[in-house]
Each structure stands twice: as structure tokens, then as C-alpha cells.
Structure 1
Amino acid sequence: MSVLSVDSLPRRRAPLHRPLLYFAAANAVLAVVAVIGMLVDDRVVAGSTAWFKPAKFAISFVLYCIALAWLMSLRPKASRLMGWMATVIVVAGVIEQLIIVGQVVRGMRSHFNMTTVFDGVLWVIMGSTIIVLFLATMVIAVQLSVIRIGDAAITWSIRLGLAITLVGLALGNLMPGRESGVDDIVGAHTVGAPDGTPGMPLTGWSTTAGDLRIPHFFGMHALQAVPLFAALLVLLVPRIPILRVLRVRVGLVVTVAAGYAAALALVTWQALRGQPLIHPDQTTLTAAAAILTGVVAGALISVATAIGTRKVVTA
């Protein structure tokens, strides 16, 4: 029987990628500035306070960059290719944030805006940086997935988390080109209503229609959620002895990742049907219940694999 080993959580050997950390720190500062902007600037852009979008993007970049830097540091040694790709992500992110903040200063919307030649050029640049960011993340995902990092549970949490993140990033492509109902605006994130409808606190996600920002956000942050779940299992070993069994932890990681992917599919389907997240219909609730049942069943099966063994050997 496979049990917890000293290599379950790998010793950090590769250095943290400094540009990612610097960019995360810069976005943390930007988030504070944007929040202050929301308090003192009463302008409205595309139905939201002008500084709301920079704040959301800043927080998202903080989470994304810290998680990516941490995962890259778990390799036995640094990869030059991964370092270059991470730097590319930083450059793309800087360009995107400069355009978003610059458009806020001008009082113009950044995404999907083709109202003038200048605005159109900025939107094309943003669209290009998004593609570059996706491709660079994909290269890093492949590099992290072809090697073993820690034990099988940690390794699979990284592989599955990154795979779901790539799907979440790709779901952003559902927004450009959607009918906005506004002249010279070539995309929309709301389904079933114009952008700018009433939104949820903190997130701004629509409370009256479907919102494609939800699956985009939920999917891309699997990068943090799934590996952190695997790390949490290791930390809980002293309190829950059954978690010392490797196949139990692997089973739980796979189950949670599958549940996360299924939930991502559900919120995407819900948004495309024009249904707000907080007002699910019976069909959505039934699907959610089926996903929850599947996760619970998977967890029970994972734990059952260790029941009946005579003893659990510690590392």
C-alpha cells in the first residue's frame, strides 16, 4: 500500500520567478488604487463604476501570478523555457493592465471597443495579449505536466488544475463577437440582456441574465484551487490518518478536479442559457445536485480503497 512519504510535498528547489512576483505586487498596489478610485470617482463606464474593472483584473492577476510562481518553484530545478514564458505572461499582463487603466482615465470602455480607430487599435492589442498569455500558460502547463512533482497526488493536482485553467482561459473567447446591441461594440459578456445590467456585489456579475465572465473566472483559478486542495490533504495527515494512504489522496484529488470541471461546465451552460448564477432553474439545480452526488460518491470510494487494510504506515 502506498503511504505518505517525505516527498509528498516537494522541497522547493527552483527559485520563485521574480517578474511574476513583481507583477503580482504591482497589481496588489493597483487594486488598492482602484478601490480608492471607486470611492472618489463617480463616473460610470459600461454600467459599472469606472475603476471596478481595473480592481477585478488586478486581484485576478495577483492570484494567478502568485500561484503560477509557486507551481514553477516546485520543479527540481528551474526551466529556462518556463522562465521565458512566465516573463511573456508578465509583459502581456502589463500591456493589458496599462490599456485597461488608460481607458478608465479616458472614461472609455476597454473591452470590445471599436468606436474610434484608436480604441479599435487598443482592443486589437488587448485581444492579442490575451492569446499570447494563453499560449504561454499552455507551454508552462505542458512543462509542469511532463515531470513528477512530489507524490502522485501533488503531481496530478498540478496537471488537472492547469488543464482546467487552460479551459477557463479559452472560455474568454465566448465573449468577443457576441451581439452587444451597442454600435461599434464588438462583444459582450452578458447573455440575454445588454452589458451593464444590475450586478452582484464585489464581482459585478449579472443578477438578471447570464454572464460569461463567471466560467472564465471560475475556470482560470483552478490553477490555485486544485493544487492547494492537494497540499491541504497533506497538512491534514496528522489529524486524519487515512490520508497517509497515497491512493486515497490521489482519488480525492481526481474527484475534486472532476467535480471542479463539471461545475465549470455547468456555470458555462447556465450563462449561455441567459440564466443568472444566483437564480438557477430546476434543471440547473438538478445538474448541480448530480455533480455534488458524484463528488461525494467519488470521495467515499477513494476512502473505501483504504478500508480493510491492516495498518497505515507513516513516513
Structure 2
Amino acid sequence: MAVLTVVSAVGMVVDDRVLVGSPIWFKPLKFSFSLGLYALTLAWMLSLATRGRQAGWWAGTIVALTGAIEMVIITGQVIRGKRSHFNFETDFDGTLFTIMGATIVVLWISSLVIAILLFRSRLADRASAWAMRLGAAIALVGAGLGNLMAQPTPEQEAAGGRGVSTIVGAHSVGVPDGGPSMPLTGWSTTGGDLRIPHFVGMHALQVLPLFLLALIVLAPRFARLRNERVRLRLVLVASGTYAAVLALVTWQALRGQPLIHPDGATLTAAAAILAAAAIGSYAALCTTHVPHKAVDIEKELVA
């Protein structure tokens, strides 16, 4: 994935072809970087697992292999100047997309196995354990939401669906793919975009452990964060908030609403999530501290 990221970046510079309103090498660039980060994070989590290490090794290896197959097809289609996703223009294109769908299902199942191993493993730091477990669980939901993009749009269904339409599935909701989009991400600015919940969900795998890391870094400056119970509760609040945001952006996309143009209902839901997160964080920080005498007794017992 690291090599493909570099190759795709070079392709963005030297190849001026455009496909569905986007530079043709943009998709392999995003996918190779994202899958590389996904694989590195899973590898780190597997190194901490205390149960089923052999099963974890196999699951991690399958994730790597299926991710590689996915990128071979995406890159190959870029070289051919063809769409990799939703493409049934020819039998060959349709077969490639079907293979991609199968590899993603296998990758998802392997990631599920890793998540189960994380739930079964016992780590000394409960906050770390739950940051990884809930990050993996939310990432599975986000990956599963990618299936929404493979469903035919109402227009495609009206045209007869697969076997009649050359394109079956779409990123956008309410508008055709390839329209005006946000810089860097390529997300639609005129309609809903199902890539948003897919992206938000999958990267819970990194965001929640990084959130805990931030709490640990800040602990020397803020006494309350030195309490493991406080960190655990803050991780649980952050996980709940993240899951709520994932539900919100999914709902927004399915209604054909651009991320940057929320309506009153979306803003109200976002405000409710923010208020719940603030209340939850305040409650977590108000966790009773262990008395100094109890700390001294614990130190003596450890000694």
C-alpha cells in the first residue's frame, strides 16, 4: 500500500486523465493510503491480543491479501481508463467488480474475527482495551455501510438494473456521480454522499485509540486524567459520541443532503449529540478520586 500510494501520487501529477469528474489516479491514492493505515492499525492491535494469536495471524494475513487484490483491480482499471466500482459495461468489468465485492466480504469477516479477539483479550489498561474494541466495532459498521453504495439507484432500477444499465450503484444520493465536489475528499457538494459514513465509520479504528493517547499525554498536566476510571469513562463517552455522529452523517447522506449544507433537522440532531457529549464528559470527569490514604496503602501492597 505504501508503494501504491507513491505510484498513485506520481500518477496524479503526470497523468491528466479525468474519470467521473475526478483525476483518474485519485481513487487508488485514497484507497492505498486508507488500506495501508487500516492494516497498520490492525497489526498493532493484533500485537496486543492475548487470546487466539494464531487465529489473529491468519485473519490479519487474509486482510492483507484481500486488500492487495482490491488494489490490483483498482489500479488495473485505472491503467485501462475504466471505472473499477459499479462497472458492468462489459462481462470482464462486471467480473472484476464482483471479485472486488467478494474480497471485501472476506476482508470484513476477517476484521470481525480480529474484533472478537480484542473483546476476548485482557489488557491491563481497561481504557486502552475499550478504545480498541469499540474502535474496531464501529469500523466494522462503517465498512458494512459501504454496501449501500453497491445498491442500484432509483434511476438505475427504472432502467432495468444490472444486465441493462452499464453502471449499477453510486456514491452520491439524489445527484449523479461526478458533479461538484469538495476539495481533497471528492465528496459531493450538491447531494448526499455515502462515502462519508463509510469513511467516518472505518476510521474509528484510529480515532478512538488516538483519543485515549491524547488523554494519556495530558494526564501529567491534569490530575483527573491520571485516574484510569476517568479515562475509561471518557473513552466510553467518546465512543458513544462517535457512533452517534456516524448515524447522523449516514442519515444525512441517505436524505440526499450535502455534508456542508445541513438543514434544520441535521443541525438539531448535531446539537443534541454535542450536548450529550458535553454532559457525558462532565459526568466522567466528576468520577470520585481514590483517597490519598488508599493510594498509599496500595503502594505499600505493591512494594
TM-score, with normalisation over the residues of structure 2?
Answer: 0.91
Q: CA deviation at 1:240?
A: 1.2
Aligned partners of 1:173, 1:217: CA distance in 2, in Å? Answer: 13
Q: CA deviation at 1:181?
A: 4.8
Query: Is 1:51–2:25 an aligned residue pair?
Result: yes
Equivalent of 2:262, from 259, 280, 284? 280
Query: Is 1:248–2:248 an aligned residue pair?
Result: no
Aligned partners of 1:81, 1:60: CA distance in 2, in Å? Answer: 24
- Residue 13 of structure 2 aligns with an amino acid whose one-letter code is L
Q: Which residue of structure 2 lines up, in the alignment, with residue 268 of structure 1?
A: 250
3-state SS, counterpart of residue 75 of structure 2: helix
Equivalent of 2:38, from 64, 82, 85? 64
Q: Which residue of structure 1 lines up, in the alignment, with residue 201 of structure 2?
A: 219
Could you give the per-residue CA deviations for residues 90-145 of structure 1, whole angstroms, max 9, x where no partner exists? Answer: 11011100000000000000001111010011010000001000000001100111
3-state SS, counterpart of residue 219 of structure 2: coil
Q: CA deviation at 1:228?
A: 1.9
Give yes or no for contact 2:16–2:23 (8 Å, CA) kept in 1.
yes
Q: Which residue of structure 2 lines up, in the alignment, with residue 5 of structure 1?
A: none
Equivalent of 1:237, from 191, 213, 219? 219
- Residue 244 of structure 1 aligns with an amino acid whose one-letter code is R
Q: CA deviation at 1:231?
A: 2.5
Q: Which residue of structure 2 lines up, in the alignment, with residue 11 of structure 1?
A: none
Alignment of 1:107-126 (within 5 A): 107-126=81-100
Q: Which residue of structure 1 lines up, in the alignment, with residue 142 of structure 2?
A: 168
Kindly tell me the number of residue pairs found equivalent between the two proteins: 288
3-state SS, counterpart of residue 150 of structure 2: coil
Q: What is the RMSD computed on CA atoms of the aligned residues?
A: 1.7
Aligned partners of 2:48, 2:123: CA distance in 1, in Å? Answer: 7
Query: Is 1:30–2:4 an aligned residue pair?
Result: yes
Give yes or no for contact 1:180–1:194 (8 Å, CA) kept in 2.
no
Aligned partners of 2:288, 2:27: CA distance in 1, in Å? Answer: 48
Aligned partners of 1:246, 1:289: CA distance in 2, in Å? Answer: 29
Q: CA deviation at 1:34?
A: 1.1
Query: Is 1:301–2:283 an aligned residue pair?
Result: yes
Q: CA deviation at 1:282?
A: 1.3
Aligned partners of 1:71, 1:235: CA distance in 2, in Å? Answer: 20
3-state SS, counterpart of residue 229 of structure 1: helix
Q: Which residue of structure 2 lines up, in the alignment, with residue 259 of structure 1?
A: 241
Give yes or no for contact 1:138–1:166 (8 Å, CA) kept in 2.
yes
Give yes or no for contact 2:187–2:193 (8 Å, CA) kept in 1.
yes
Q: Which residue of structure 2 lines up, in the alignment, with residue 106 of structure 1?
A: 80
3-state SS, counterpart of residue 190 of structure 2: coil
Q: Could you tell me the percent identity over the aligned residues?
A: 55
3-state SS, counterpart of residue 139 of structure 1: helix
Q: Which runs of 4+ in 1 moved over 6 A?
A: none
3-state SS, counterpart of residue 244 of structure 2: helix
Aligned partners of 1:129, 1:48: CA distance in 2, in Å? Answer: 25
Query: Is 1:40–2:40 an aligned residue pair?
Result: no
Unaligned runs of 5+ in 2: 157-164
Q: Which residue of structure 1 lines up, in the alignment, with residue 56 of structure 2?
A: 82
Query: Is 1:201–2:175 an aligned residue pair?
Result: no
Aligned partners of 2:128, 2:295: CA distance in 1, in Å? Answer: 19
- Residue 146 of structure 2 aligns with an amino acid whose one-letter code is G
Give yes or no for contact 1:113–1:123 (8 Å, CA) kept in 2.
yes
- Summarize the Cα distance change of 1:210–1:47 in structure 2 as closer, same or farther, 3 Å threshold: same
Q: Which residue of structure 2 lines up, in the alignment, with residue 140 of structure 1?
A: 114
Q: Which residue of structure 2 lines up, in the alignment, with residue 184 of structure 1?
A: 166
3-state SS, counterpart of residue 248 of structure 1: helix
Give yes or no for contact 1:245–1:306 (8 Å, CA) kept in 2.
no
- Residue 105 of structure 1 aligns with an amino acid whose one-letter code is I
Q: Which residue of structure 2 lines up, in the alignment, with residue 228 of structure 1?
A: 210
Structure with greater helix percent:
2
3-state SS, counterpart of residue 13 of structure 2: helix
Give yes or no for contact 2:187–2:195 (8 Å, CA) kept in 1.
yes
Could you give the per-residue CA deviations for residues 172-214 of structure 1, whole angstroms, max 9, x where no partner exists? Answer: 1111122285731111110000111111111101111100000
